[in-house]
Amino acid sequence: MDVTRRHFALMSALGLGAGAAGCSAKPSPEQQLDAQIAGAEKLLGVDYTDAERAQLRGQFEGNDDARDALRAWDKPNGLAPAGLFDPRLPGKVYENDLNKIWESKLSAMAAARVEKPGRVNILLPSSAGNPDESQTGEFGEIVGRAERGNRIQNFTEVTHADLAFASVEELGARIRAGDLTSSRLTQIYLDRIAKYDPQLEAFITVTTNTAIEQALQADKEIAAGNYRGPLHGIPFAAKDLLDTAGIKTTYGAMPYKDRVPDSDAAVIERLREAGAVMLGKTSLGALAYGDIWFGGRTNNPWNTNEGSSGSSAGSCSATAAGLCAFAIGTETLGSIISPSTRCGTTGLRPTFGRVSRHGAMALCWSMDKIGPITRYARDTALVLSAINRYDPRDSGSIDMPYFPQTTGKTVIGYDPSWFENASIAQNAALKAARETDAEIREIKFELPGDFPLGALNTILFSEAAAAFEHLTLDGRDDDLVWQDENAWPNSFRAARFISAIDLIQAQRLRRAVMEAMDTVFEDVDMLISPPFAGNLLSITNYTGHPALVMRAGFTARPTRTLFWQSEEGGEDFDVPDSIVLWGRLFEDITLTQMGQSIESGLNIASWRPDKFKN
């Protein structure tokens, strides 16, 4: 007899053998429903009696219409749930009246760096990819000194590669001083994209015409004295989950590869207002997970045999390889920190709610964050100054100052256990932190209570499965390139078995963790650790705290998988190691200031990947 898998499972649940001799009776509707309930009990980890199942029948009968109607109802990706996440705890006071003051101060600081045309303060990367010293002088007559080990290299001119790898701050100063035009700089990056991106697969769409038009407009405005600020004329790349009017925004996923929005994301609007020039849309692992997208895999510039990690895969790869001055990334649970660690970029994951997500693909409404990816710590602050603003179109947007009001010496906490298995580079970063003006305080990081932190992921998986429910229900999840146990299609399907009660309990756990982290930050201003130490990556993404990840040094390692496992055999490559500063809520800029001090002590931020250094 022909028995479907569903019927076989039902018969098994009833204790009947589908192929048993002489078995022809069909189970009654009541028996069928009781068997389905019993099967669900096993998946949900509960155990009911026969009498309890009989009572439950009425709860399920007749509910199909409401369920099916809800599934069929059109739910735009940007429609957030009514229950909003707020990282602020009741009774806590946060500064909220200094925004305009500090934004004005930042603009004044940037303007002060150009005393007169032709003279600029610069940090020149050398053509050999080594750290160098800051010099002041006439453009074209600057002699920089680069030193790595015992090698010293002098040069008297700035190459296209030197400009491509320069900081946003330096490029902005050169453009304002008239030493460099946005058009020239934009063409340098477009040429580098054409030359190098085939090896990296960091761009999904290159917006050549848009970039040239925006650069010409910037040059005209600056020449006319209409200078908008430190990002005016600076070329950048945007992660391809940020909507761009009339330009494809694909989410890196096959079902959306031809999607063209009719409006811009808030971050794109802000960067256009700042005068920045968009070079294109960078790759991301499909639906913001990993480094595999519908066109291939994005690679690490320091070892192109391995992926760049994700999901801000293209933004980090392009920035590290000098294909843009900066890029925009997003993070839900590691999507800035992980690829920045792999590619050696500096990434700022802002406090939840600081940067508007309007027009950005929603994966997890209560966790998604947007932040800058750069090569230098100070540049993250310059970019954040442009994209930080309250936006009523984002249900999670919070009106908070750009700079917090801080006094006294910065206290940085660390748990020695975080560094027991850390690399030499990461321990060097801790040493560099000790050599700043900050107080370095040893702590024992131990959250009160026996928190089952893994249960927090119930929140992410539930929201992500809801955001892309239509792919699961209509079978288009099969069109996603990455298909295995860890990929989204399987996770979305599994999430349908998460109970509403378990989700609520996970939210209660989240509040307890938020309160515990608030206690931790009563004694220190920030924490310092390797990227994946102490569960800090997961904890702070759920609590909404900011983080700055930055290059600590280099370590010889074999090629690695997406999940950081080393592949057996093959040669070692000198690849970046990173360090992370984890900060108090809304004290994002305090992190960037300390990052600058540590970066200066390490003196390796300007090193370039060998394959892409020229």
Number of domains in the chain: 2
Catalytic site includes residue 239: yes
**Residue tagged active-site, from 126, 311, 315, 317:** 311
Using CB atoms within 10 A of its CB, is residue 51 exposed (0-12), middle (13-18) or buried (19+)?
Answer: exposed
* Secondary structure percentages of the chain, helix, strand, coil, to 5: 40, 15, 45
- Name the pTM for this structure: 0.85
pLDDT above 80: residue 227:
yes
Catalytic site includes residue 538: no
**φ, ψ of residue 552 in degrees (nearest 5):** -105, -25
Residues 437 and 565 in one domain: yes
* Contact assessment for residue 234 and residue 168, using Cβ atoms and an 8 Å cutoff: yes
Comparing 16-20, 454-458, 555-559, 570-574, which segment has the lowest mean pLDDT?
16-20
Average pLDDT over residues 556-561: 97
Structural domain contains residue 472: no
Average pLDDT over residues 255-276: 98
Structural domain contains residue 470: no
Residues 110 and 10 in one domain: no
Quickly state the pLDDT bin for 406 (edges 50, 70, 90).
Answer: low
pLDDT confidence of residue 225 = 97
Q: What is the pLDDT of residues 238-257, one digit of tens each?
A: 999 999 999 999 999 999 99
Residues 168 and 36 in one domain: no
Structural domain contains residue 162: yes
Quickly state the pLDDT bin for 389 (edges 50, 70, 90).
Answer: very high
The letter for the amino acid at 300 is N
pLDDT above 60: residue 321:
yes
pLDDT confidence of residue 62 = 63
Distance CA 551, CA 337 (A): 11
Residues 104 and 49 in one domain: no
Residues 112 and 187 in one domain: yes
**φ, ψ of residue 255 in degrees (nearest 5):** -60, -15
pLDDT confidence of residue 593 = 95
Helix or strand holding residue 346 (H, E):
strand 346-349
Quickly state the pLDDT bin for 5 (edges 50, 70, 90).
Answer: very low
The CATH number assigned to the domain holding 201 equals 3.90.1300.10
pLDDT confidence of residue 537 = 98
pLDDT above 90: residue 265:
yes
Structural domain contains residue 608: yes
pLDDT confidence of residue 124 = 30
Quickly state the pLDDT bin for 156 (edges 50, 70, 90).
Answer: very low
**Residue tagged active-site, from 335, 338, 395, 462:** 335
pLDDT confidence of residue 69 = 85
Average pLDDT over residues 339-358: 98
Work out the angle at residue 547's Cα, subtended by the Cα atoms of residues 229 and 232, and round it to the nearest 5 degrees.
10
Residues 295 and 417 in one domain: yes
Per-residue b or e along 376-414, where b marks 16 or more CB atoms closer than 10 Å to that residue's CB: bbbbbbbbbbbbbbebeebbbbbebbbbbeeeeebebbb
Average pLDDT over residues 552-581: 95
Between 219 and 21, name the one with better pLDDT.
219
Q: What is the pLDDT of residues 20-41, one digit of tens each?
A: 444 557 888 888 888 888 888 8
Average pLDDT over residues 454-483: 95
pLDDT above 50: residue 143:
no
Average pLDDT over residues 217-235: 98
Structural domain contains residue 318: yes
pLDDT confidence of residue 118 = 33
pLDDT above 60: residue 45:
yes
Work out the angle at residue 299's Cα, subtended by the Cα atoms of residues 296 and 300, and round it to the nearest 5 degrees.
170
Tallying the residues shown for the chain, one arrives at 614
Please give the C-alpha separations between residue 450 and each of 374, 478, 513, 536, 614, in angstroms, as whole numbers. 38, 39, 11, 16, 52
Distance CA 369, CA 531 (A): 17
pLDDT confidence of residue 61 = 67
**Tokens matching residue 359:** 């027009």
Between 49 and 143, name the one with better pLDDT.
49
**Residue tagged active-site, from 239, 281, 369, 613:** 239
Residues 179 and 48 in one domain: no
Name residues whose C-beta falls within 8 Å of residue 407's C-beta, 6 or more positions apart in sequence. Answer: none
Structural domain contains residue 405: yes
**How close are the terminal C-alpha atoms of the chain, in Å?**
70
pLDDT confidence of residue 123 = 31
> DSSP assignment of 129-162, as one string?
S--B--EEEETTS--EEEEETTEEEEESS--HHH
Using CB atoms within 10 A of its CB, is residue 288 exposed (0-12), middle (13-18) or buried (19+)?
Answer: buried
Structural domain contains residue 254: yes
Residue 549 belongs to what domain range?
99-448+505-612
Q: What is the pLDDT of residues 61-114, one digit of tens each?
A: 666 777 788 888 888 999 999 888 999 999 887 754 344 444 455 455 545 444
Average pLDDT, the chain: 86
Percent of the chain whose predicted confidence (pLDDT) is above 70:
84
Q: What is the pLDDT of residues 180-205, one digit of tens each?
A: 999 999 999 999 999 999 999 999 99
Give me the residues paired with residue 145 across strands.
Answer: 154
Residues 429 and 553 in one domain: yes
DSSP alpha helix (H) spans, 46-141: 50-60, 64-72, 99-112
> DSSP assignment of 561-595, as one string?
-TTSPBPSSS--EEEEEEEEEEE-TT-HHHHHHHH
Residues 240 and 360 in one domain: yes
pLDDT confidence of residue 369 = 98
Percent of the chain whose predicted confidence (pLDDT) is above 90:
72
Residues 244 and 169 in one domain: yes
Structural domain contains residue 304: yes
Q: How many Cβ atoms are within 10 Å of 444's Cβ, its own excluded? A: 8
Per-residue b or e along 225-241, where b marks 16 or more CB atoms closer than 10 Å to that residue's CB: eebbbbbbbbbbbbbbb
SS3 28: coil
pLDDT above 90: residue 284:
yes
Residues 182 and 48 in one domain: no
pLDDT confidence of residue 429 = 98
> DSSP assignment of 180-216, as one string?
S-HHHHHHHHHHHHHHHHHHH--EEEE-HHHHHHHHH
Residues 549 and 427 in one domain: yes
